[in-house]
Copies of this chain bind each other. A is one copy, B any other.
Amino acid sequence: MTANDPNNRSDCPLSCALDLIGDKWSLLVIRDICLNKKRYVDFQSSPEKIPTNILASRLKRLEETGIIVKKPYQTKPLRCEYLLTVKGADLLPVLQTLAAWAEKHVPSCIPAPEFFFTLKPENLFTR
């Protein structure tokens, strides 16, 4: 036996987490939602310039893994917004810790705005 779930490399919580969001883009999409971006074009407008096919595939995967939900906000034409679930909002402390690490150790980065570190998961998810 290798892992409870064959999609996981092992049962280690860290390994399981990285199997879900361990890539270059997923956490940036989640960051964007934390910063109140909701729509496809919003994510595309971020400075990292995520390729459109990658964005589509990440949104799909994050939805499939229950980290975000896709919710219509108008019908003609059908337009959806992407929102965090509780599972997704609970990634905020990870983002904050990682951002703090970079501010301390990566000279080329520019500090995140103060308010980012004051955000709390319970204010971010949908119900």
Binding site for B on A (CB under 8 A): 2-5, 8-20, 22-24, 27-28, 31, 46-49, 87, 90-91, 93-95, 97-106, 108-112
Expressed in whole angstroms, the Cα–Cα distance for A95 and B98 within the complex equals: 9
* Alpha-carbon distance A94/B18, docked complex (angstroms): 12
Q: Is the CB of A98 within 8 A of B14?
A: yes
What is the copy number of this chain in the assembly?
2
Complex interface: chain B residues within 8 A of A13 (CB)? 98-100, 102-103, 106, 109-112
**A108 cross-chain contacts in B, Cβ below 8 A:** 3-5, 8, 11, 16
State A20–B49 Cα separation when bound (angstroms): 18
User: Contacts A49-B9, A91-B101; is A112 near B14 (CB within 8 Å)?
Assistant: yes
Which of B2, B3, B14, B100 sits near A27, CB closer than 8 Å?
A: B14
| Contact between chains at B20 and A22 (CB < 8 Å) | no
Given contacts A10-B46, A13-B112, A91-B101, 15 further A-B contacts (CB under 8 A): A4-B109, A10-B47, A12-B28, A13-B98, A13-B106, A14-B27, A14-B28, A14-B31, A14-B98, A14-B112, A17-B101, A17-B102, A18-B24, A22-B23, A23-B23
